[in-house]
Structure 1
Amino acid sequence: MNTAQSTQTSQSDVMDPARANAFRVALGQPGNIAEGAALPPFFHQLYFWTPEPPAQLGRDGHPKVGGLIPDMGLPRRMWAAGRLAFHAPLRAGTPATRSTVCERHARKEGRSGPLGFVTLRHEVHQSGVQCLTEWQDLVYREDPSRDAIKPEAPVARIDETHSEEVSFSSTLLFRYSALTFNGHRIHYDLDYARDIEGYGGLVVHGPLLAQLLMLMAEKHLGPLETFQFRANAPLMHFETATLCLKDRDLWVRGPDGRQCMAASV
């Protein structure tokens, strides 16, 4: 079944530069974004929080499904992919609004069991101008069984022309969760990540990996017009990864050579 959802939400935010600077400092960069300055790409993730009372949260710390995102009876949520079109710079300290609609949702049978697919479309406006369009692809699945065979991750390319090694402490994951108001417990609750969702450690946020790839792309290629990414395999907080770039392709290579994320601009 493949259906569309008409529910739409809208949020406003003042785009406080202090939040952007806190994130830059967490990444080891200078916190020198002034009011009115253009925000780096994807920094809108730090804004437009959707706080919910405890009674409206699911077991994983995310808001319960059943509103904007339909309840398909599958408990595990993953951000699988994303696409962005950058129309104009977002400015720190200038009020902005974000409207969100569920473009489509579907429940299908996969090799590992039932899967739920959801695509959200976000549009961000500031000073009467549409600055950004973002599509967010989410996947929902069942809890893992102990005897389930884990899918093999693709092998990452080794022909990059630019690369950067990155590591992720539990402190950085906690700070990113706090700055994006992401309550998903796989990023800060080791017992939950390991015992309930079957991961080997705390999971590095997919959007955080995408963020680092975007900053790398902007550094070497200049301002971004579009960016798309897809998660291929989870990266654990104790693993060192390599950010890679060649031409307009980017990817994240895990310490064992697996591809954790692929992207293009």
Structure 2
Amino acid sequence: MSDSQTDVMDPARARALQATLGLDATIGTGDPLPPFFHQVYFWAPEPPERLGRDGHPQTGIGLIPDMGLPRRMWAGGRLEFHGPLHAGVMAEKRSTVEKTARKDGRSGPLAFVTLRHEIAQEGVIRVTEWQDLVYREDPAPDARQPAPPLAPTDEDAAERWEFGTTRLFRYSALTFNGHRIHYDMDYATGVEGYAGLVTHGPLLAQLLMLLAEKRLGRVQSFAFRATAPLMHDEAAAICWRDDGTLWARGPDGRQCMTATAA
């Protein structure tokens, strides 16, 4: 199954993302977009009756099949940047379900969906992205959370980031992400079992990509994997090592995300 969307890549939206990230809002028509800024485009809004309990569009009525499990996570992804996307220029995004799978994990049944997105401008593919989604059951009330991995401490460069409810809200709005774990405290803690509001995995990936761009000059490929959630009231160290590896480290030393860039 596949679908296609178009968007003009409004520079005002890119500037809003710059401001949300604490950057100078400078992007104008024709300027190249930083890597991963395409996340604020290609909205696919659905009316309330077509949303699931978590605020996402219901599975099984669009591109993503119904895997029979209620909790969704963006587990990671991979990107190839063939050339820059430009603000103010019409773009087309073609999306395909590349594979699906189910298996039993330590915490119960899991379902996996991999989407492939190709984004083109002026008939030329500029970005290819693979997006890995995981679906799982609700946690049992007495379930013990597995111990998260510890992050390395041998980075060559690091940036400290704080998030808070306002930054999470603005990022949700810019990406048209209705997932309630990012803004609905009762839902995040009472239904999905988190310790607070969850900082978006793609937001952490965005910060890692921007750091990689600072160190490399241009990012041609990037892959990331979420390993533990980061809460809205926790600061993170966004880390770079000169061999091209990156990670996000929580305040207690846990590893929240790993990545590689070239």
Partner of 2:13: 19
Take 2:38 and 2:22, find their aligned partners in 1: how far apart are those partners? 19
Query: What number of residue pairs does the alignment pair up?
Result: 259
Take 1:60 and 1:27, find their aligned partners in 2: how far apart are those partners? 25
Partner of 1:185: 180
| Counterpart AA for 2:88 | G
Partner of 2:54: 60
Q: CA deviation at 1:68?
A: 1.3
Q: CA deviation at 1:111?
A: 1.2
- Unaligned runs of at least 5 residues, structure 1: 1-6
Take 2:58 and 2:129, find their aligned partners in 1: how far apart are those partners? 22
Partner of 2:87: 92
Partner of 1:134: 129
Partner of 2:155: 160
Please list, as runs of the form range in 1=range in 2, the aligned pairs for 1:201-240 lying within 5 A after superposition: 201-240=196-235
Partner of 1:3: none
Partner of 1:32: 26
- Classify the secondary structure of the residue corresponding to 1:50: coil
Take 1:146 and 1:117, find their aligned partners in 2: how far apart are those partners? 24
Partner of 1:44: 38
- Classify the secondary structure of the residue corresponding to 1:122: strand
Q: CA deviation at 1:169?
A: 1.2
Take 2:63 and 2:230, find their aligned partners in 1: how far apart are those partners? 28
Q: Is residue 109 of structure 1 aligned with residue 126 of structure 2?
A: no
Take 1:205 and 1:174, find their aligned partners in 2: how far apart are those partners? 10
Identity %: 66
Take 2:249 and 2:105, find their aligned partners in 1: how far apart are those partners? 26
- Unaligned runs of at least 5 residues, structure 2: none
* Runs of 4+ that moved beyond 4 A: none
Residue-by-residue CA offset, 1:91-129 (whole Å, 9 max, x unaligned): 000000000000011111111100000000000000111
When the two structures are superposed, what TM-score results if normalisation uses the length of structure 2? 0.98
Take 2:6 and 2:190, find their aligned partners in 1: how far apart are those partners? 37
Take 1:43 and 1:134, find their aligned partners in 2: how far apart are those partners? 12
| Counterpart AA for 2:245 | D
- Classify the secondary structure of the residue corresponding to 1:172: helix
Q: CA deviation at 1:242?
A: 0.3
Q: CA deviation at 1:81?
A: 0.8
